[in-house]
Amino acid sequence: MIVVLTGGTGGTKFADGLRRVINPQDLTVIVNTADDFQWWGLHISPDIDSVMYVLSGRVSKERGWGIAQDTFFCLQTMKQLDEPSWFQVGDRDLAVHLLRTKLLAQGKTLTEATAKIASKMDLQVGVLPMSDSRVQTRVNTPAGELSFQEYFVKRGYQDSVNSVRFEGASEAKAAPGVIDAILSADAVFVAPSNPVTSIGPILAVAQIRQALRDTSAPVAAISPIIGSAPVSGPAGILMAAQGFPISINGVAKAYEDFLDVLIVDDADEAAAKELERSDLRVSCMNIMMRSENDREQLAKRALSFVSQNLPRKISVAS
């Protein structure tokens, strides 16, 4: 089994690449839930939804988020009623949030609600929230402390950032199945997601970070940084705020207590040679995922590099 820790669009693309080149039933995706929030009285799980929409083939390829061929009549009407409209919820997307909120109100856990929705979408891949406990990313800015969605979507990540914290993480427990998946995995990948606000909340759950230290599987990360800049989004700003260099060295530092392999872009070959002087194994390859073929090729090459040190070969589609 292959396990992926992910959040955000880059990580979802990598998970999709893996889904295309191995048996989907051999893939488990552990997803950040610290971006979850209440919207119009509904429980929104943005990263879980992104994973399910992409892996089920429902995602809008034009927008890169939400459901294909969606409409936005409810959003337009809510705006006319002077309700908040800065978070773009489509009508088909809304149905998923309605069902999740209904299941949670019935006493289901987030894990159980996610499994129910994934089953309705005929997903073959296992999708697990990182925790059933409430964890929320809080971004400290000169304008005050913001939720991640306020910082990222409402304000377009234009605020400078003083620090980031994960409210509730110290008390949170890993969701059922998460620790077993990590400890029994053949390989664990940390997807090319924002190390601070996509992967950071997952690692802030102490049980999960300890499991990554304890697993006998190799743990590999794909860098979301090329040179001194993120592939997309505010990862650089947030890494700097947390004291990490904006480089592959910063990525390695964020994961240093459990990381065995770091996969970086060809452009970082010189920096990779410096990192290889430590015990960390580093591989250079094209990590940009501009197309579905790019996703597959990165997944194949990453699996190939990691499987060189596995007790048994991972079966990869040709």
pLDDT digits (tens, 9 = 90+) for 64-101: 889 999 999 999 999 999 999 999 999 999 999 999 99
What value does the mean pLDDT take over residues 291-302? 94
Size of the chain in residues: 318
Task: Report residue 314's pLDDT band, with 50, 70 and 90 as the boundaries.
Answer: very low
Is residue 126 a contact partner of residue 181, using CB atoms and an 8 Å limit?
yes
- How many of the other CB atoms lie within 10 Å of CB of 133? 17
Is residue 291 helix, strand or coil?
coil
Interval 102-122: pLDDT, tens: 999 999 999 999 999 999 999
pLDDT value, residue 10: 85
pLDDT per residue over 145-181, tens digit each?
999 999 999 999 999 999 999 999 999 999 999 999 9
Model confidence band, residue 309 (pLDDT cutoffs 50, 70, 90): low
Q: What is the DSSP letter of 317?
A: -
CA separation, residue 79 to residues 72, 75, 87, 89 (Å): 11, 6, 11, 12
Q: Looking at 3-12, 226-235, 275-284, which range is the least confident one?
A: 275-284
Contact 13, 302 (CB under 8 A): no
User: What's the rounded Cα separation, in Å, for the pair 55 and 58?
Assistant: 8
Q: To the nearest whole number, what is the mean pLDDT of the chain?
A: 93
Name the nearest CA neighbour of 261 among 227, 208, 305, 213: 305
| Band of residue 137 on the pLDDT scale cut at 50, 70, 90 | very high
Residue 46, token pair as written in the block = 């943005």
Whole-angstrom distance, CA of residue 183 vs CA of residue 214: 7
Its sign, for the CA torsion 251, 286, 316, 12, is positive
pLDDT mean over 296-317: 74
Amino acid code (one letter) for 36: D
Asked which of 48-52, 141-145, 273-277, 285-289 is least confident by mean pLDDT, the reply is 273-277
Is the Cβ–Cβ distance between 48 and 114 less than 8 Å?
yes
Confidence at residue 276, expressed as pLDDT on a 0 to 100 scale:
81
Structure tokens at 214: 């304890």
With vertex at residue 52, the alpha carbon angle to CA 178 and CA 195, rounded to the nearest 5 degrees, is: 60
**Alpha carbon distance, N-terminus to C-terminus of the chain:** 18
CA distances 85 to 36, 74, 129, 270, Å, are 17, 10, 26, 46
Is the pLDDT assigned to residue 36 strictly greater than 50?
Answer: yes
CA distances from 127 to 1, 107, 176, 282 (A): 13, 20, 11, 28
Query: Residue 238 has what DSSP assignment?
Result: H
CA distance linking residue 230 with residue 75, whole number of Å? 31
Mean pLDDT of 22-48: 97
- pLDDT-wise least confident of 1-5, 106-110, 297-301, 314-318: 314-318
